[in-house]
Amino acid sequence: MSATAVAPEGQRAWWLRTLLVLQAPRAVFAAMRDDSDEAADARQEPATALVFLAGIAGVLMTPAFGALFDDPEIDALLVVVLAIFAGSLYGFFFYWLAGWAVARGARALGGRGASRLGRHVIAFAAAPLALSLIVLPIRIALYGDDLFTTGGADSGAGGTFLEWATVAFAAWSIVLLVIGVRTVQRFSWFRAIGASAAAVCLAAGVLAAWVLLALLTGE
């Protein structure tokens, strides 16, 4: 069978795994042990899509986006543009840096230190965060413009619940990252947590810096 016939089939399999990773993560990450150029190419597009969506979800969690409509010059279209632009930047910045951090952590603990493999583990671990975007239409339907206004109706108990639901998706991604590192590297839980720690701290640090920058700019 020719390579041109195999490639689309392999890519379709990895698109299906973007959903399967939510149900059977070990099987998906075990398939990722094949880091040949052909296998890596087959999962590159699904990985890119996951990173893009997770990046948007990540920036929408920041307080800066919850106050955009405080500025009367910002409308709904601009919010969408900002979310896509900022989400792309954050998602791919984190994708490259966190992938490098996972690879270095794995190498330090005796595993395979390929940055490309680390990036792909990061991407598929981000699937729950990408999935958290399904909460956004619900929040918009319930709260409308208040969702992006300081002190709006979404600041009540219901809004807080939906915010924490989004945080739960992010926590799910962290769990998947540890499972992914453990499965791909054949690590113990302790070593997997150690190899993942740098990437998790990096994500928190980048988001914190983003929020601080937005607050300083707003002042």
The single-letter DSSP state of residue 66 is: G
Q: How many residues does the chain have?
A: 219
Q: Is-contact 67 150, C-beta < 8 A?
A: yes
Cite the DSSP H helix spans in the chain: 3-20, 25-31, 37-60, 76-108, 115-125, 127-131, 135-143, 157-185, 189-218
Residue 61 confidence (pLDDT): 75
pTM for the full model? 0.80
Letter string b/e over residues 164-177, b meaning 16 or more CB atoms within 10 A of that residue's CB: eebeebbebbbebb
Other CB atoms within a 10 A radius of the CB of residue 129 amount to 27
CB-based contact 94:130 (threshold 8 Å): no
Q: How many CB atoms lie within 10 A of CB 150?
A: 12
Whether 9 and 16 have beta carbons less than 8 Å apart is answered as no
Q: How far apart are CA 197 and CA 124, in angstroms?
A: 17
DSSP 113: -
Print pLDDT tens along the chain (219 aa): 444 444 566 889 999 999 999 999 999 999 999 989 999 999 999 999 999 999 988 888 776 666 666 667 777 788 788 888 888 888 888 899 889 989 998 998 888 878 899 999 999 999 999 998 887 766 666 666 666 666 655 454 444 545 667 778 888 999 999 999 999 999 999 999 998 988 877 766 666 665 565 555 544
100 with 115: CB under 8 angstroms? yes
Domain boundaries of the chain, sorted by first residue = 3-218
CB 152 within 8 A of CB 143: yes
d(CA 184, CA 112): 9
Distance in angstroms (rounded) separating the CA atoms of residues 94 and 90? 6
